[in-house]
Amino acid sequence: MLNRQILDTVGDKWSVLIITNLGVQNLRFKELQRRSGGISQRMLTQTLRHLERDGLVWRKATPTVPLTVEYGLTELGNSLLGPLSGLVEWVNGNSGDIIQARSGYDDRQKESETE
């Protein structure tokens, strides 16, 4: 059960984007949100908390005006970059085939609905 919970966190689409973005460099919240295209502030906050709780991400708040908060990967988070990079490469390399397969499936579904 614990393995499933961990997989749910690290396999989540937002977690993958956040981890891969933080793998490039440490980022402030708003920059991380911008680079993770489409994620809401609430979802980013929630995902970062889960990743921090699991020891994959660190959070550093600097008491400035306004407060500056920066995020980065822990050693454990960095160890996940290799497998996630492989997943991202696979998606990038096969997205055309997947789009084609989806289109074919959708066409077949439409045909079967009209029969």
| pLDDT over threshold 90, residue 114 | no
Segment 87-96 mean pLDDT: 91
Please state the pTM of the whole predicted model: 0.83
- The pLDDT of residue 47 is 96
Q: How many domains does the chain have?
A: 1
Domain CATH code at residue 26:
1.10.10.10
Angle between helix 2-10 and 13-24 (nearest 10): 60
User: Do residues 35 and 18 lie in contact, with contact meaning Cβ atoms separated by under 8 Å?
Assistant: no
- pLDDT tens track for 15-73: 999 999 999 999 999 999 999 988 999 999 999 999 999 999 999 999 999 899 999 99
Domain that residue 18 falls in: 2-114
Provide mean pLDDT across the span 4-18: 90
